[in-house]
Amino acid sequence: MISVRSNPSPPALPQEDAWITSYQKLLPHWHSLSLSHQYSTLPISISRVNQFDAARLDIEMSAMLKEQLVKVFSLMKPGMLFQYEPELDAFLEFLIWRFSIWVDKPTPGNALMNLRYRDERAMEIRRKVRTGLEGPGLTVAQKMWYCIATVGGQYIWARLQSFSAFRRWGDSEQRPLARRAWGLMQRIEGLYKAASFGNLLIFLYTGRYRNLIERALRARLVYESPNMNRAVSFEYMNRQLVWNEFSEMLLLLLPLLNSSTVKSFLHPFSKDKSSSSTEDDSTCPICRASPTLPYLALPCQHRYCYYCLRTRCAAAPSFRCSRCSEPVVAMQRHGSVVEHRTQSQ
């Protein structure tokens, strides 16, 4: 039996205004999508190490300028420049601020680390970014407040601390007003250190605002050029680390070494063995001078200064003669009776 399959009905044609209706439905979504892309803030990450390095480089630059300025006044009255050390530090900080931040340029440390300050408040209003590094620099008000906080604030606090220490406000016999002022200063310093520690933890988590001044002014460090990489000479860093460790090892071992013991140990390996016999016995082998109060080391009978022989015997119980490397068991004044070391100690 043959079944006859009916032809399907042709699809219904859309209405003439269907495309207009679809366009009106999709238009709000298109606007919202374009606006979200246009005004989205790109997340950027500024290296925390670069920011810390920039602050350290600024400190080193200020120290270098201070060292050169101190050399200028080296021929003047000693101690005169020490009285005006806070003024000198404030003057150098003001110079760095005047020729960097005030003229919209990065500080020496920020320039080396490819960083600059950006007004983060303007970015919240603007919000239209391409790379995340755009944005205006600091305003005039932000620059002035930065100078007041970094230069003026540090100078006033340093002077106040030196004045309170000179007047001894913290002593119990001072007036109650002075003691209360000293206690207030200690509380302010404690609160500032606690706030700085909290800001440091936030900075390590978010990567924004190294210190409280930057956070209060909303001055954020961003890269000045997005294509500049951080150049580090690892060869120099390795060499510096090796020398630092070597110097620390020497500083640890040198106090433990006794020069007379080392000299007596190396004496048998000396090439010029006849030098000890040709030396003048009238001079002290330690200070190389003629003894004013001569003493003899027993039993070898070599002549020493009393101070030289006494200090060496007190420092090293097993002191050996510097001429013949024989152990010194007693000391005798030249032309008198024997003075044993145990009795002299």
Q: What is the pLDDT along the chain (345 residues), one digit of tens a residue?
A: 444 455 555 556 566 667 777 777 777 777 666 555 454 455 678 889 889 999 999 998 888 888 888 887 777 776 677 778 888 899 999 999 999 999 999 999 998 888 999 988 887 655 555 555 677 889 999 999 999 999 999 999 989 988 888 888 777 676 788 888 888 989 999 999 999 999 999 999 998 999 999 999 999 998 887 776 555 566 767 777 888 888 888 888 777 766 666 666 666 665 444 444 445 667 888 887 888 788 888 888 888 888 888 888 887 777 888 888 888 888 888 766 544 444 444
Claim: this prediction has a pTM higher than 0.85: no
Residue 222 identity (one-letter amino acid): V
Q: How many CB atoms lie within 10 A of CB 200?
A: 13
Measured CA to CA in angstroms, residue 235 lies from 239, 242, 249 at distances of 6, 11, 21
What's 230's DSSP letter?
A: -
CA atoms within 13 A on the CB side of 98: 6
Backbone phi, then psi, for 304, in 5-degree steps? -135, 165
Measured CA to CA in angstroms, residue 31 lies from 25, 37, 124, 287 at distances of 11, 10, 21, 94
Please name every residue paired with 294 in a beta bridge, in sequence order, or none if there are none.
305
Looking only at the bridges linking them, the beta strands covering 294-298 and 219-223 are unpaired
